[in-house]
């Protein structure tokens, strides 16, 4: 995990999370609508600008997505192979290659959001954007997931280490998955019971106190950018 929230003083750090989410969605829509060489040159320049303003190193951000890379590189390669006379057709490989490149750009833009926005602010953004109780549940749930992911990851790592120390890696894959599933679920449910009791004792309410979010003048360019990109996506 190379991309996570890092406190900082850049302009992007100080923007309202809702504005940043709007920009992300608008960039994605614009890129999806214009996956042409010309369109992608534009999105590349925009992405480079966003990376520069937020002082994010693209290489570190991309390293995180290594599990998606086989799909990105493999897709165009598989597509280009022709079977009539065996060979490689560049024309066939171009559309999936453009799509793969677009995915890389969108992953970079998303990495900037992740790096500059604490999850607490994202939670507040969710609860202030999605109306009513669904929004509250979504915000609360995301908070719980954020809090318990590292704990459960540690549980799972312990299970795997313990199993490996006893030559568990020699077992068939199915058996290893079964042991991991049972161990992981038992620990998750035990933690759920404790957490349930704890939040009930603290009187979990539908209307909690959230960090204040307010659009300021510095958010105007971000919102204008999002609106502009939406227009580009539609036209």
Partner 1 sequence: MSAETQQVELIGDEVVGNLVRAALLAALTGAFAYVTFPNPASPTSVTLQVLGVFMAGLLLGPVWGGVSMTLYLAAGAVGVPVFAGGSAGFGELVGTTAGFLWSYPIAAVGIGAIAYGGFGIDADLDAPVWRLVAALTAGTAVIYALGAVGLIVIGKLSVKAAIVGGTLTFLPAEAVKAAVAVGVVRADELSAT
Site for partner 1 in 201-220 (CB under 8 A): 203-207
**DSSP calls for 8-32:** --SHHHHS-HHHHHHHHHHHHHHHH
Question: Considering the rule CB under 8 A, would residue 74 count as an interface residue with partner 1?
Answer: yes
Among 119, 213, 223, 233, binds partner 1 (CB under 8 A): 119
Among 30, 43, 126, 229, binds partner 1 (CB under 8 A): 126
Question: Considering the rule CB under 8 A, would residue 189 count as an interface residue with partner 1?
Answer: yes
Residue 85 or 217 with smaller CB distance to partner 1: 85
Q: Distance between CA 80 and CA 89 in Å, rounded?
A: 5
Q: Taking the chain, what is the end-to-end CA distance rounded to the nearest angstrom?
A: 37
Among 45, 57, 137, 216, binds partner 1 (CB under 8 A): 137
Give min distance, CB of 135 to partner 1, in A.
11
- Residues in binding contact with partner 1, number by CB under 8 A: 84
Structural contact between residues 42 and 26, judged by C-beta atoms closer than 8 angstroms: no
Residue 7 or 217 with smaller CB distance to partner 1: 7
What track of x and - describes contact with partner 1 for positions 19 through 58 (by CB under 8 A)? --x--xx--x---x--x-----------------------
Question: Considering the rule CB under 8 A, would residue 144 count as an interface residue with partner 1?
Answer: yes
DSSP conformational letter for 82: E
Structural contact between residues 152 and 183, judged by C-beta atoms closer than 8 angstroms: no
Structural contact between residues 100 and 76, judged by C-beta atoms closer than 8 angstroms: yes
**DSSP calls for 86-122:** TEE-HHHHHHHHHHHHHHHHHHHHHHHHHHH--HHHH
Stretch that binds partner 1, among 7-15, 51-59, 134-142, 216-224 (CB under 8 A): 134-142
Segment 99 to 118, residues that bind partner 1, using CB under 8 A: 99-100, 103, 106-111, 113-114, 117
Give min distance, CB of 188 to partner 1, in A.
4
Between the alpha carbon of residue 178 and those of residues 63, 142, 148, 152, 234, the distances in Å are: 30, 27, 22, 17, 48
């Amino acid at each position: 995990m190379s991309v996570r929230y890092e406190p900082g003083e850049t302009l992007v750090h100080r923007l309202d999370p809702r504005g940043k989410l709007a920009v992300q969605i608008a960039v994605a829509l614009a890129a999806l609508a214009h996956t042409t060489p010309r369109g992608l040159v534009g999105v590349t320049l925009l992405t480079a600008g966003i990376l520069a303003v937020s002082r994010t190193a693209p290489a570190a951000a991309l390293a995180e997505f290594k599990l998606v890379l086989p799909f990105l590189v493999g897709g165009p390669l598989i597509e280009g192979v022709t079977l009539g006379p065996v060979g490689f057709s560049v024309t066939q490989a171009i559309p999936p290659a453009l799509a793969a490149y677009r995915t890389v750009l969108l992953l970079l833009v998303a990495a900037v959001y992740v790096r500059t926005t604490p999850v607490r602010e994202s939670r507040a953004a969710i609860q202030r954007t999605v109306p009513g109780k669904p929004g509250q549940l979504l915000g609360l749930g995301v908070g719980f997931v954020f809090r318990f992911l590292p704990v459960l990851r540690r549980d799972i790592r312990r299970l795997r280490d313990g199993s490996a120390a006893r030559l568990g890696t020699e077992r068939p894959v199915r058996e290893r998955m079964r042991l991991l599933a049972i161990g992981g679920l038992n620990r998750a449910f035990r933690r759920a019971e404790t957490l349930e009791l704890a939040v009930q004792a603290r009187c979990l309410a539908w209307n909690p106190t959230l960090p204040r979010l307010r659009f300021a003048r510095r958010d105007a360019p971000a919102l204008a950018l999002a609106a502009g990109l939406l227009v580009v996506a539609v036209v």
